[in-house]
Chains A and B, each alone.
Chain A
Amino acid sequence: AQKVTQAQTEISVVEKEDVTLDCVYETRDTTYYLFWYKQPPSGELVFLIRRNSFDEQNEISGRYSWNFQKSTSSFNFTITASQVVDSAVYFCALSLNDMRFGAGTRLTVKP
């Protein structure tokens, strides 16, 4: 069975703080893909990153970085120097043909 757990339901930080969103997944498959999506208050879903199970390199994109650790089945997302515009719900997802989403973490960045 596939499952994604985002244990942090809500996180609140002050602007310029760093914040890490946790994602733990379960799957029996050896080939799979992991995703992060952002859902701002306007409601649309915005793709952030895709990672396959054979690529454990960390990735940095501007203020965003992702830490994939297969040994702990985790794919954590860090925002450095957070901004108010980062306020959103963030979803981690696990995919083969279908896709399983975590329950999401609501991030509030206060000015």
Chain B
Amino acid sequence: NAGVTQTPKFRVLKTGQSMTLLCAQDMNHEYMYWYRQDPGMGLRLIHYSVGEGTTAKGEVPDGYNVSRLKKQNFLLGLESAAPSQTSVYFCASRFADRGSNQPQHFGDGTRLSIL
């Protein structure tokens, strides 16, 4: 049982390059999330999805796009990477139990550096 798996774990990009971060979960969770973690700022929500085919903006969505074509996968795309997007990215997922708001399960993070 892998839980939440993020690919890749590390990546270095040049400004202007594009890339996609993959998040895969094997727990049949409906909700999935992408966060970025920067020093002194905690985790900030980029985008999230409440089900296959649906996405919504979080707190800091600019410069990112997401897709949820399959229930188990949530992709985060950077179309034209900027140094300000250097961060550690976390993916999370949880069940959509109404009224109970289950805790999120987190991946191990992707450390992304933009030069």
Interface residues of B in 70-97 (CB under 8 A from A): 88, 90, 92
Q: Which residues of B contact A68 (CB under 8 A)?
A: none
Instruction: Return the contact of B103 from the options A35, A52, A101, A104 (Cβ within 8 A).
Output: A35
Contact of B48 with A103 in the complex, beta carbons under 8 Å: no
Task: Give 19 A-B pairs besides A44-B109, A45-B90 with Cβ atoms closer than 8 angstroms.
Answer: A6-B42, A35-B103, A43-B108, A43-B109, A47-B104, A50-B101, A52-B100, A52-B101, A91-B42, A93-B43, A95-B101, A97-B48, A97-B56, A98-B33, A98-B58, A99-B33, A100-B59, A101-B43, A101-B44
Q: Does B12 contact A (CB under 8 A)?
A: no
A97→B31 CA distance, assembly (Å): 9
From the candidates A33, A43, A91, A102, name the one contacting B101 in the complex (CB within 8 A). Answer: A33
Interface size bucket, A side?
A: 20 to 34
B residues neighboring A (CB under 8 Å) = 31, 33, 35, 40-45, 48, 50, 56, 58-59, 88, 90, 92, 100-106, 108-109
In Å, the complex CA distance between A104 and B44 comes to: 12
CA distance A95 to B50 in the complex (A): 14
Residues of B contacting A12 in the complex (Cβ-Cβ under 8 angstroms):
none
A99 touches B104 (CB 8 A): yes
Q: Are B40 and A99 in contact, with the CB atoms below 8 A?
A: no
Question: Is B106 a contact partner of A44 (Cβ separation < 8 A)?
Answer: yes
> For the complex, is A58 an interface residue (Cβ under 8 Å from B)?
no
Instruction: Tell me, rounded to whole Å, the shortest Cβ–Cβ distance linking A109 to chain B.
Output: 21
Give bound CA distance, A33 to B102, whole Å.
9
A101–B37 Cα distance when bound, in Å, is 10
A-chain residues with CB within 8 Å of residue B102 when the two chains form the complex: 50
In the complex, the answer to whether B33 meets A103 with C-beta atoms within 8 Å is no
Contact A45/B106 with A97-B50, A98-B58 known, Cβ cut-off 8 Å: yes
* In the complex, chain A residues 1-55 whose Cβ is within 8 Å of any chain B Cβ: 6, 9, 33, 35, 43-45, 47, 50, 52
**A109 to B22 Cα, complex, angstroms:** 36
Is B103 a contact of A50 with CB atoms below 8 Å?
A: yes
